[in-house]
Amino acid sequence: MMVAARNRPMLRILGFFICAAFIYLTFRDLWLNHERKPKLGFVKRNGTQFVVDDMPLYVNGWNSYWFMAHAVDEQSRNLVGEMLEAGAKMGLTVCRTWAFNDGGYNALQISPGRFDERVFQALDHVIAEAKKHDVRLLLSLVNNLQAYGGKSQYVKWAWQEGVGLSSSNDSFFFDPSIRNYFKNYLKTLLTRKNSVTGIEYRNDPTIFAWELINEPRCTTDVSGKTLQDWIDEMTGYIKSIDDKHLLTVGLEGFYGPENPKRLTVNPEQWASALGSDFVQNSNSSNIDFASVHIYPDHWFHNQTFEEKLKFVVKWMQSHIEDGMKELKKPVLFTEFGLSNLNKDYEPSQRDKFYRIIFDVVYKSAKRRKAGAGTLVWQLFMEGMETFGDDFGIVPHEQDSIYKLMIEQSCRLAKVTGRRNEHKLKKLCSHRH
């Protein structure tokens, strides 16, 4: 009995070490993975290139405008994480989505200065999920179109409150009351403290950049002065609150009435009469990179598919040239798509269309030019057909497109030297 008693302290010590060893072996992989995961840095600009941690970044990404709308509802919230996971598995690095819903159903901003906390928490969830899947977000701040409120909702609010100067939707750009409404929204959003991560939006590197407005047009002032004044004021205001994030306008890319390219590059004459100008608007001192859309289906009505492809190459090369010579800034093609409603549409055309666009950006990246990447319009998940359109794709249902997008991720990663990063290394080595 005395021997057993003497051994008790030793047995306790031995038991402690066995327990500690068990805990270590059980949780070692979690600790190592946590340590391996590098701290996310802000995307910055170095001349005509995006850079992260002093390494170039070329974007292969997508649009899923619907994230916040689906995150509001418990039953559909899982689709956000599933879409981000699917994107990450293709090596996609940036997703563009709406950070606005003004008035109407499940509005983020119910009326000027009044916000629905439930919807804000949905946006918090979107940002937290993106961080979890190593995807950055390009967040758009208001719509030129009526969907999800847009500038027409702001004009309606001013009219209802008896302070509106005009019932024209373009008064969004020049009415002092409406400008104040929008500034209040910007301040609330930028300084929002995420309820999931505890990080203010303006301090969160998960956000790739802010997009001021989706596809701005101001047809009541074709000269472009009204829109330019608004861009200068609002971008200055954003930078006064948040100087960490990149900022873009959200342009379609049309050349205005004073730009000679209106005659040689614009799709048709109407494109120079929209009150915007790609070079002038993108040259604003607070704008970090230019944005361009590619929709020959919407811009032409009598062109053959082959003619559309020729236009796309010319359109892209013209804007990359502007980025190099005029702007000295990156050019990101933030929306592109081919409609499946075209009379002569065949699925193989979409493959060819994507390939042409990816090739232009890849060649630009290899030569260190200003073509900084692309964002497909748009990706969604199974069972979401009501949120889809004639451009939308469920990635794993379109095998050829799925493979094309992975190939582009790997090509761009090789150019930048990022191919050895853990996820890309696995993805790209498996591909070969």
Active site residue 215: yes
Give the torsion sign (CA, 142, 107, 198, 87): negative
Active site residue 335: yes
Long-range contacts, 48-53 (Cβ 8 Å, 24+): 48/323, 48/324, 48/328, 48/329, 48/330, 48/331, 48/368, 48/369, 48/370, 48/372, 49/330, 49/368, 49/372, 50/246, 50/289, 50/330, 50/372, 50/373
Name the token pair of 346: 């065949």
Number of residues that this document lists for the chain: 432
- The rounded distance, in Å, linking the Cα atoms of 424 and 256 is 41
- The rounded distance, in Å, linking the Cα atoms of 219 and 212 is 18
Name the token pair of 121: 């928490």
Question: Active site residue: 129, 211, 252, 335, which one?
Answer: 335
Q: Are 45 and 246 in contact (CB under 8 A)?
A: yes
Which residue type, as a one-letter code, is found at position 322?
D
The torsion angles phi and psi of 207, rounded to 5 degrees, stand at -80, 115
198-221 burial, b for 16+ CB within 10 Å, e for fewer? ebebbebbbbbbbbbbbbbbbeee
The DSSP output letter for 200 is B
3-state secondary structure (DSSP) of residue 131: helix
Question: Active site residue: 215, 258, 268, 385, which one?
Answer: 215
Task: Give the chain's count of helices (H) and strands (E).
Answer: 15, 13
| Element at 331 (helix H, strand E) | strand 331-336
Any idea which residues carry the catalytic annotation?
Answer: 215, 335
